[in-house]
Structures are given as structure tokens and as C-alpha cells.
Chains A and B, each alone.
Chain A
């Protein structure tokens, strides 16, 4: 079953780690080359020179650049993300508070999108050229071209304003009149996550479908699909077990790209739905020049992407036996 060898995994982990080091370095350079000083948001006009000096001292700006870099790299690797000047709190606390919310939204959306997308892609690819294919395909392209905030507002309008079925903001009921128990928490989150997920996946699945459909169509001409039919297998089995299974391989690669799109979409969605996750602070922290928060946010998103890469590589190896230990033979 497992084709992933320990050495391969170790090798990939090292590469992932090095990637993160590079990203951290880039972040360090990038945020320090933004217009305005790193600490300008903390300086107000009434401050005395000593106070400004003290802030520079606190943020280590009086150290030589290499020392700052070194400190930064060490701090980040030990989970010390510093303190946020605008939140007046350790950045790590902020991340611990917000990251899970984003992961829940991300995870659910990602999962649903990558279930629906390939499924639809499978059917359309299998029936390519039929009327059904053409109409569903063009509808989905139309969806794909809609801006996600627009879709969100549409859903909010229908499900919240018009029919008052689902809430349009937050992850939990804010001033509940019920007791929090495991059951009510679950129910409440589901109730609140419904609209954001619907908005994200309403378009989100199309990406995976667009990869799946042509590859699915290609594999229908493959010899093994013919052989599977010749063996007397049902069309369903042929389509799912033989054709779709092969067509999934490029979809796994697409997942990383999909994640990038999702990050993009979640910034909008979190703001539209007042979902208090990372997407909310990713832009505001830059605009407010809360550099410690901005840095940590970007860093964690990078970690997320790197982890996803690693995971998709493993999934890829599992999906395609021709890829042995992640290397082509």
C-alpha cells in the first residue's frame, strides 16, 4: 500500500522546511522595504525623541540588519511571532484564535469543492459533447466568471434578507439565549457556516471540474477503459473505477492552485460574512502597518500552502503508482 518511503518523506520535509526559510527571508525583506518605516504606525506626533528611540529599541531596529534577520528567523522558528501593536497582544495568541476558524471554513470548502468539482467533471467529461454536458459546462463557466462577493450578496439576499433562513454574519450566535453544549456549538457553527460555504463552493467547485473534464475525456479513449468494458463491467464501474481514477491524478496537482484561489476568495468571504478568521486581518494588517501581524499571517498561509504541497505530493504518489517515491522513474 504505502509507496512513500521514510527517506523520501524525510527528504520532502527538508525541502519543505527550506522552502519556508526562503519564504521567511522574502517576508523579512518585503515588509522592510514597504513604504514607511516598520514602526511608523507606532509613532505619534506627540512623542518625544526618547519615546521613539525606545520603540526602535523594543523592535530591535537599532541592531544591524543581519542581527535583526537572525533574530527574526530564530524567533519565527520558535513560534515567537512578537507582539501586535494594534491588537496589543502576542501575535501568536491572535493566530491561535483566528487560524482554526479559517481552517474550518477552508477545510470544509476545499473538501466540498474537491468532491463536487471532480464528480461533475467526471460526468461531463464522460458525456462530453452531449447536450447535458454543453449546458452544464457553459453554466459553470458563467458561474466561474462571477465575482465571489457578488455571489455572496446574492445568497445573503435570498437566504437571509428574503427568507431569513440562514445568518449572514459570524461563526457563532453572538448573544445566545441558549446554553453552549457540544451539540449546540456544532449546530450553531453549521448554521453559520452554511452561507459562507455555499458562496465559496458555488463557484469553487468549477476549478476542479475544469481540470477533471478534459482529462476525463482523454482517458475515455484509453485502452484500459475499453478493456474494462470488454470485461463486462458496468458503465458506472468503468467510469468511476477505471476512467475517473486515472483522471484524478492531475486534479491533485490542481489542488494546490485551488488552495491559492481559496485564500484569495476567503479574504473576500470572511469580510462579507464577518467571519473572524485570517482573511479578515490579512489585508487590514498591511494597511494598518501592523507588521508583526502581517508577517505572521503571510507566514502561516505560506506554511499552509507548503503543507498542502507536501500532502498533494503524497496523495499524488498514492494516486499514480508510476510515480515512485515522488520521483518519476
Chain B
């Protein structure tokens, strides 16, 4: 069953000079219950923005330009005794609630979204290590979250639960009385994960959960997430610039570039039948993914600034396969399955299908072969725009 259904979501940041950063542009994806969904892409391509926007945690200058974020939850005040939305709410055109029980988070007010935060969607921020308040005990910070969303819980019960949660992520319960500075980096990360599970959310967003940790800890954290998922059945939206992380824990994933989803679909599909020049380039730049004997090649150039971008394919400046067509407009999502099996180029609106945004979807074999060649990437003359 679909937990999260993001439709045509565009996020912008207003900047001083009057232009806008198109940090996310017409993004579609959906996450099933119990699924681990990955967002991958180089730094600066809009992953964090996308995640934060789900619960209105954008910086002050960020705003949702358009799009919907349908999430399977009902605000307490709109719910009947089963937790489903009341019919009157569904019928009310002013309330963003659908008959299937989903609520459009993008349309909620600041006050309303606060009830969704942590209770439905918990977010482990990018630098979780600095996310603990230095002046409060770690346990108390977990208790605070519990009491916020479950005011009927007693302080002792909340405290017990906090210690229990810490224990589950491998931290001795007594350490609940410690302060953040008394924890190691990995412990802090796990404490935040424990905190994220405090209210039993349906979706856990982990933004760069492994960045800045050493390899051993990285693995442990990923295991931790997997265990939690099994235990709580929570869906996880994991964000990383490291495509190998995706390989490890995702069920499905989306590859983002320049605020756009370039390729999306089940993890195996994307890794085994990669259908987008950007994904191909990304794969080249990480070890474990492809054949061991291959040289690591990173994509030359840097991601665009996204300030009032022009119409062409976002990737074309760095794309070795760019053709005339790529300059005119950004490509739509094509069905990879169809392209591969029938050679037909068809657009798709199915969020779940393996899809890719590239005009040269019809020449997949060629793209895959050339992409393995280092020279394909390094020899190209970066077009001046």
C-alpha cells in the first residue's frame, strides 16, 4: 500500500537578486509501506530540499511552488475513532484529504504540519551528530519528543521508553542521563535514530546517514536502519550522494540531478539495466558497484547552480551523449522496459516503473558500452553554454 505519493513537486528558494533556485522541479515518486526508498545524486541536486519540504522544514526562503505530497495519515482533529478521516473532512473541498485516506501535506498549515512531524514522519538530519542539544540530557530530548506527540503519557513511561529505544540501537540505557558531548560520533547518530523511532513514525527520512562516519560505523548504522525497518515495519527514505549506500539498503530508488529525477525504479533494475547517462556516470565514480577492475571516473564538471535554469536537459552540460534535442527542453520520463524490449520510446506516468529521463533512451546499449570507457567522459569538450 502506498504510504507516500509525491506528485509534480517543485520547490524553490527565493534569493536576494530576485531569481529563484529551482531546487526541485516536477518530482514524482512514491513510497510503499515497509519499503526503503533511496534518493541519490551528487551534492546540491536537491535531495535534502525534497526531504525537508515533505514536512515544511525548508529554510525561511524556501517554498513549495507547486505539487502535492499525499501521505497516508490523518490529522488527529480530522480522524474518526479508527484513525481514518471522517467523511465530512473528505467531502470538504478546503481540507486536503482524499477518499483513500491520504492527506496532502503540502497544503497543511504550519500548525497542522507540526502534528505530522515526528509522529508520522521523523527526519534524521544530514549532520545528526550535531543535532543533539548540548545542554540537555540525551534521554530527556527523546522524552521531549514523546511527550510532544503523546501528551497523555506519563513522564516515567516516556523515560522508560526512551531508555528502551536507546537500548535497541545498542546504547546502554544509563547513558540516557549523559549529555551529547559524552557520546562518540556513532553513538550520537544512533541516539538520533532512536529518537526518530520514539513516536513510531510511518516514514523515517535519513539524510546522508553515513556521511562523515568511518566505514565500520557506516555499515553498523545501515544495519541499524535495516533492523529497525524489520522491527517496526517503518518505511525509510534514505538520502545519499553515495550510490553504494543505495545498493546496500534500498528497495527502490530515484537518481536526482539538478532538481529533477533522472532515473527511478526498483534498485536492481537501476543497477543492472541502467538507463540514464547520469546514473551511468555516477556508477563509474563509486567502487563496489561495477566491475572491480574498472577505474573510478568521476563526472567532469560540477552540478548547476539551479538559479532560474534554462529549458534544456539539466545534465546536458556534462553529458557526453548530448545531442541537439537535449538543448530544447528537459526530457520527460520514458519507460525503460518498453524501450528495451520493444525499442519504442514511450513516456510513462507510472511512479513504480523503471523510468528514465533521456532522449537517447532508444540507444541504451550504445550508451552503456560507451559509458564504461573512461575517455567518453574525460575527452568530451564541455560545451560552453
Contact = CB atoms under 8 A, between A and B. Distances in A.
Interface stretch (A93-101, A107-115, A161-169, A224-232): A224-232
Contact of A231 (B118, B127, B129, B179): B118
A320 B117 contact: no
B123 A230 contact: yes
A23 B119 CA distance: 59
Most buried by B among A226, A234, A322: A226
Given A232-B119, A321-B181, A224 B144 contact: no
Interface string B106-140: 00000000111111001101011111111100000
Interface string B128-163: 111111110000000011001100000000000000
Interface residues of A, number: 20
Contacts of B123: 230
Nearest to A245: B135
Given A230-B125, A231-B148, A322-B181, A224 B119 contact: no
B130 A230 contact: no
B179 A322 contact: yes
Contacts of B131: 223-224, 226-227
A231 B196 CA distance: 8
Contacts, number: 68
B149 A228 contact: no
Interface residues of B, number: 28
Interface in B164-211: 179, 181, 192, 195
Contacts of B179: 321-322
B134 A227 contact: no
Contacts of B192: 227
A6 B116 CA distance: 47
16 contacts: A222-B130, A223-B130, A223-B131, A224-B130, A224-B134, A227-B131, A227-B192, A229-B57, A230-B123, A230-B125, A231-B195, A232-B114, A232-B115, A246-B133, A320-B134, A321-B134
A227 B132 CA distance: 8
Interface string A302-329: 0000000000000000011110000001
B55 interface: yes
Per CB-CB distance, the 6 closest pairs between chain A and chain B, nearest first, are A232-B117, A223-B131, A223-B130, A224-B133, A227-B131, A321-B179
A191 to B, nearest CB: 40
Given A230-B55, A233-B144, 7 more contacts: A230-B125, A231-B144, A232-B114, A232-B119, A233-B148, A234-B114, A322-B181
